[in-house]
Structure 1
């Protein structure tokens, strides 16, 4: 999906003294930003190449946005190399490191991604996105305890439905359905109308043979999203079971 670029970056410390490069970056960064947010990607890339040529490749923001565009177009390996180049120019920019980690994750290089997120954590502040993405990496590596810890840590910084969904998934994969339900119920305190969450709780109750509870949650979900096929099928199966029993 579309990603908003960060606010135009401050130049790396080693570039600030190089007045000419700084002036070139200032000249083009606002234009690159504008074309990117307007989703005029081809024109944006032309401006980026001009900025890179004039700055002799020392334009961090231009490289960063070029990497975002490459990734959107499915060129993950190229985007990784560009994010790494941006990181070389400014090693202490957390945005760069997070994107290197994200690209490694998308390439299935989960252990390498975790190392990058650890580095980002070491030099930056507590960040929800870093903890959440580390959790995703651990989940793929089937390191469930580490995954759960990372997701809990992410939620302690900032609560997100997506983190609760993944944390519940960790417990579901270990067949600890009760704990998974507890996680989702906590999430529903903050997002009581989330149909995906309501359906997931309903399906877990169904697995535990608690049909009445399951039907409650599935019915509630359908009031918010009446066309979800998964919810309709599950609710229908409960109705069918009861009809058969009658």
Structure 2
């Protein structure tokens, strides 16, 4: 056994070490003495602490046995035993039996708000939101001080009942009562649902600066920043969410969407694969992965991913739309029409889906394509992409006057845009060049269009995405 030696060169230091040694041993003996007293009084003292310890440790069987024993000793009037048995039953999903136990607590002491809160929670988990809200309101009357947990629960009840205004009020009360991250995130979510995006951003900022928030809150705040056009702040928040929880798939999906917008396909693929490893049935991840593979010309793998997204969510209009777009690029217009018709049936007012249907019908040689083009233009009369495709349709059909009229409108919309699309301007320049070669007078155009040094990508519907002599790249398995 190793012996510890103390230096005697400095008597003061020797005294300090000796004092610490004695103090530690006194504390050890004191704890042993207190434990011995507790053991001696175990038979006649309260054993609520033991119930609590066993419940917290998850020893539910031992907890139930001890609760039954305490009930027999106290003629079935032991309140805490009823409470713990109700909590165990609620954790097991037996909410109706748990309600009976909590009601027994309330009969023994009606002024205690804790059993009433548990009753409200069981009702909420059963989907009985109106009764849960009433129980939480009664519990709020019994509490002496503002309870942030009750206010958060009331906000969630109002959310499920569709009363967003009351939900926002309760969430604000929860934030003022010190509800921390849960209250701030709940308030922001309610504000987003009610359409007040600026207030939701302020709520997220307050929660992030006041509390150490988790990955879910960081991801939600980052996604909202991305929606409002603040990619730099969104990138910071989403990166923080992934650093805290690498398997947080909403953050990975949002980052992948940002990377797809910036044409960084390899980084987007890595994020999407990470998201799928955490959530293999995520429809958005499969759909975005298919679009990313389509950008890398991995056509078979892209169609496989998009088809898997459609199988996972047969009622998703967006998944059907993306698969239809991929099938158009792969020159399979009949299959594309079936998928796009499904998407249009699920979401009839989506103009770009109707535009793709028009393109598909034109490639199939169906005369109904003109009606589809007109329908897309009626749904979005100020969309330059739709107007450009409509002008191209008129030009291919020989209606050069109508083509020029719509080209003028596209030029006006392009001029008024805050961020002009270079690809759209290039495609418009191609159309104008074709009209000029056909002998059309172009003096009506209000803007000078860029001259192209080399052929640029045309929008979907002008011509095939791939040239006839282009070979498809090898696909991934």
**What CA RMSD, in Å, does the superposition of the two structures yield over aligned residues?**
2.4
What is the aligned counterpart of 1:122 among 141, 146, 153?
Answer: 141
State the match for 1:112 in structure 2: 131
Q: State whether structure 2 residue 61 is matched by structure 1 residue 47.
A: no
| 1:155-170 paired onto structure 2 within 5 Å | 155-170=175-190
| 1:121-140 paired onto structure 2 within 5 Å | 121-125=140-144, 126-140=146-160
8 Å CA contact 1:25, 1:59 repeated in 2: no
Q: 1:86: how far off?
A: 0.7
Question: Could you list the runs of 5+ residues in structure 2 that have no partner in the other structure?
Answer: 1-42, 265-421, 424-477
8 Å CA contact 2:148, 2:177 repeated in 1: yes
Q: In structure 2, what is the Cα distance between the partners aligned to 1:213 and 1:138?
A: 31
What is the aligned counterpart of 1:184 among 190, 204, 227?
Answer: 204
8 Å CA contact 2:87, 2:98 repeated in 1: yes
Q: 1:124: how far off?
A: 1.6
| 1:1-246 paired onto structure 2 within 5 Å | 27-125=46-144, 126-191=146-211, 194-243=214-263
Question: Could you list the runs of 5+ residues in structure 1 that have no partner in the other structure?
Answer: 1-23
Choose between structure 1 and 2 for higher RCO, CA contacts under 8 A separated by at least 6 residues.
Answer: 1
Tell me the TM-score normalised to structure 1 length.
0.81
Change (3 A) 1:28 1:186: closer
Q: 1:154: how far off?
A: 1.2
Change (3 A) 1:199 1:119: same
Secondary structure in 2 aligned to 1:243?
Answer: coil
8 Å CA contact 1:25, 1:51 repeated in 2: no
Larger helix proportion of the pair: 1
Q: 1:68: how far off?
A: 0.6
Q: In structure 2, what is the Cα distance between the partners aligned to 1:85 and 1:187?
A: 39
Change (3 A) 1:118 1:228: closer
State the match for 1:20 in structure 2: none
8 Å CA contact 1:67, 1:80 repeated in 2: yes
Q: 1:226: how far off?
A: 4.0
Q: Decide which moves more: 78-87 or 189-198.
A: 189-198
Change (3 A) 1:232 1:28: closer
Q: 1:67: how far off?
A: 0.3
Q: 1:219: how far off?
A: 3.2
Q: Decide which moves more: 132-141 or 111-120.
A: 111-120
Q: In structure 1, what is the Cα distance between the partners aligned to 2:57 and 2:256?
A: 45
Q: 1:162: how far off?
A: 1.1
Change (3 A) 1:34 1:242: closer
Q: 1:115: how far off?
A: 1.5
Change (3 A) 1:33 1:241: closer
Secondary structure in 1 aligned to 2:58?
Answer: coil
8 Å CA contact 1:188, 1:194 repeated in 2: no
Higher Cα Rg: structure 1 or 2? 2
Q: Decide which moves more: 140-149 or 205-214.
A: 205-214
8 Å CA contact 1:148, 1:167 repeated in 2: yes
Q: In structure 1, what is the Cα distance between the partners aligned to 2:203 and 2:70?
A: 48
Displaced runs of 4+ in structure 1, greater than 6 A?
A: none
Q: In structure 1, what is the Cα distance between the partners aligned to 2:116 and 2:191?
A: 29
Q: 1:176: how far off?
A: 2.6
Count of paired positions: 223
